[in-house]
Amino acid sequence: MANLIYRVLETAQTWQDSAGDHTMTLDFLDSDAGRQGATWDRTAADGSRWFRWRFWCEFDSTTPPVLGEQVRVYLKTSDDNTVWDNDDTTGDTAVSVEDKLRNLQLLGVLQVDQATADIVMSVSGDVEITSRYVAPVVWNATADRLDTTTNSSGFSLTPVPDEIQ
């Protein structure tokens, strides 16, 4: 009989304003603006190449989001921490222009499914990552800014290594 292969979730790496493992300042992220998170060196952590990603956010209460508006989530990678998928600097910083997203890997799109502010909206998926250095990038393509409350939005990568039983 063949061995079964299970998916086992390990400890997530999180990016938030101040409560995560890595910093990504998403509070006050304006419309038509982007932010990338701090770099995670995967060599120091795990050997998995598969990850479960999740992005969550709240919109500011001053202007509720509109149904169908989008927040796009990307992954920026490097094998040597020198040459990256775009030339915006590394670390928790603003995306200089939307064109800098062209060579990044699109993970997914959060579509506003409720025209209400101050509720958590989330999107997730699986991704294979073979590069040593990674950083999430978020582009707010809505007409509304994200919530001004610290740590109300964030991103996580959860290693999902295969385990043979």
CATH number at residue 84: 2.60.120
pLDDT digits (tens, 9 = 90+) for 2-60: 777 777 788 999 999 999 999 999 999 999 999 999 999 998 555 789 999 999 999 99
Number of domains composing the chain = 1
The pTM is what?
0.92
E strands, the chain, are: 5-7, 13-16, 22-23, 33-36, 40-41, 50-57, 70-78, 93-94, 105-111, 121-128, 133-140, 154-159, 162-164
Amino acid identity of residue 23, one-letter, is T
Tokens representing residue 139 in the block: 């582009």
Q: Kindly state the percentage of the chain with pLDDT values over 90.
A: 79
Tokens representing residue 99 in the block: 């064109």
Domain ranges, residue 137: 17-158
pLDDT digits (tens, 9 = 90+) for 139-152: 999 999 999 999 99
| DSSP annotation of 67 | T
Q: Which residue has the tokens 């991103």?
A: 155
CB 58 within 8 A of CB 153: yes
53 belongs to a structural domain:
yes
64 belongs to a structural domain:
yes
112 belongs to a structural domain:
yes
Phi, psi of 117 (to 5 degrees): -85, 170
